[in-house]
């Protein structure tokens, strides 16, 4: 048998690690607790009175406060400094 024709033995191909299909179940098991926590928090927030519109409004206000831009007519702070 030539080494170029044989890629793996039957045992290696038949195992879960031979075909690399084992990663999807592990990713699912890793992400499942986060999805359950997000669902519990979402249901709790819904029953506490939070709605998607309220959350979007709060995020919009927060974003405008954090990323506040000066009006185009306002001079920059550097131009308002006195020179000696």
CA 57, 58, 63, 64 torsion-angle sign: positive
Alpha-carbon distances of 80 from 9, 27, 47, 77, 83, rounded to whole Å: 76, 56, 51, 5, 9
Residue-level pLDDT at 69: 66
| pLDDT computed for residue 54 by the predictor | 87
Query: What is the CA angle 63-44-37, rounded to 5?
Result: 85
Rounded Cα gap, residues 28 and 41, in angstroms: 20
pTM recorded for the entire structure: 0.47
Q: Residue 18: exposed, middle, or buried by beta-carbon count in 10 A (0-12, 13-18, 19+)?
A: middle
Mean pLDDT of the chain: 75
Q: How much is the pLDDT for 44? A: 95
pLDDT digits (tens, 9 = 90+) for 34-64: 999 999 999 999 999 888 888 899 899 888 8
Residue 31 pLDDT class (50, 70, 90 cuts) = very high
């Amino acid at each position: 048998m030539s080494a170029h024709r044989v890629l793996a033995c039957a045992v290696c191909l038949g195992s879960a690690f031979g075909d690399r299909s084992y990663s999807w179940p592990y990713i699912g098991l890793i992400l499942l607790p986060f999805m359950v926590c997000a669902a519990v928090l979402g249901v709790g927030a819904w029953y506490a009175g939070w709605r998607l519109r309220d959350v979007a409004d709060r995020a919009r206000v927060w974003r405008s406060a954090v990323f506040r831009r000066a009006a185009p007519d306002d001079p920059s702070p550097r131009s308002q400094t006195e020179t000696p």
